[in-house]
């Protein structure tokens, strides 16, 4: 079962990808994790990626796809995988499709966790993070026992720059410009499935299981 997760930043696709991976015993794969693993191991592909990263440049799509294909060739991917955060653009999606076709493979599902922008801005602006231990909270959904204080270590909770409304709006604008077209791409491929991400986590997951099958 080969799955790609779609959805705006803050839609909760990473959380759902974790749960899918656990239920079906398949790996949850993000390109960030792949980069870190290859850099740590000092692989040839990792060193190539490092050359771009050290110059502050984006790693080319072709190299990212090579890294991804290397990862999904591992034994733990024989029953499938959940891709999270890649592809982000149409060229990346086309490069991935081409690389999979060369192996006689294709994606089975593209699951879009659909959440309106205003909901995402509300969700993310309600997040709070501990300045010391990094624990995260939400003023509505997962509030600390004492307002502004971390339950775990007693340190101050802050609204991170990434979660400020103006930052979230910028990230959403980039998403709509670059990544939203993927929804049309995978719809044309006949594998797009959309779930209502405004529901609680359990209901979103249940809807995904209905799509994938128990």
Are residues 109 and 212 in contact, defined by beta-carbon separation less than 8 angstroms?
yes
HSE-CB for 159 with a 13 A CA cutoff: 14
Give the number of other Cβ atoms within 10 Å of residue 44's Cβ.
Answer: 10
Which active-site residues does the annotation give?
Answer: 13, 88, 127, 160, 171
**Neighbour tally for 5: CB within 10 Å:** 25
Pairing of the two strands 157-158 and 127-130: antiparallel
Query: Cα separation of 107 and 98, whole Å?
Result: 11
Q: In the sheet that 192-196 helps form, which strands lie side by side, from edge to edge?
A: 28-30, 81-84, 2-6, 109-114, 192-196
For residue 183, give the nearest of 119, 120, 112, 115 by alpha carbon: 112
| Cα 162 off chain centre by | 16
């Amino acid at each position: 079962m080969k799955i790609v997760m779609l959805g705006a930043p803050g839609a909760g696709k990473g959380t759902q990808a974790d749960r899918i991976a656990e239920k079906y015993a398949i790996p949850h794969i993000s390109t960030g994790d792949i980069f870190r693993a290859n850099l740590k191991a000092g692989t040839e592909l990792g060193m190539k990626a490092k050359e771009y990263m050290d110059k502050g440049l984006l790693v080319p799509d072709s190299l990212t796809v090579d890294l991804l294909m290397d990862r999904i060739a591992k034994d733990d991917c024989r029953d499938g995988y959940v891709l999270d955060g890649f592809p982000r653009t149409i060229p990346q999606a086309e490069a991935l499709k081409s690389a999979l076709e060369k192996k006689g493979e294709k994606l089975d599902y593209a699951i879009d966790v659909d959440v309106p922008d205003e909901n995402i801005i509300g969700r993310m602006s309600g997040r709070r993070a501990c300045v010391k231990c990094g624990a995260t909270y939400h003023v509505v959904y997962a509030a600390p026992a004492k307002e502004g204080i971390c339950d775990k270590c007693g340190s101050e909770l802050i609204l991170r720059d990434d979660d400020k409304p103006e930052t979230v709006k910028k990230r959403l604008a980039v998403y709509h410009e670059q990544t939203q077209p993927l929804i049309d791409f995978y719809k044309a491929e006949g594998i797009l499935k959309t779930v209502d991400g405004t529901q609680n986590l359990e209901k979103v997951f249940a809807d995904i299981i209905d799509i994938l099958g128990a």
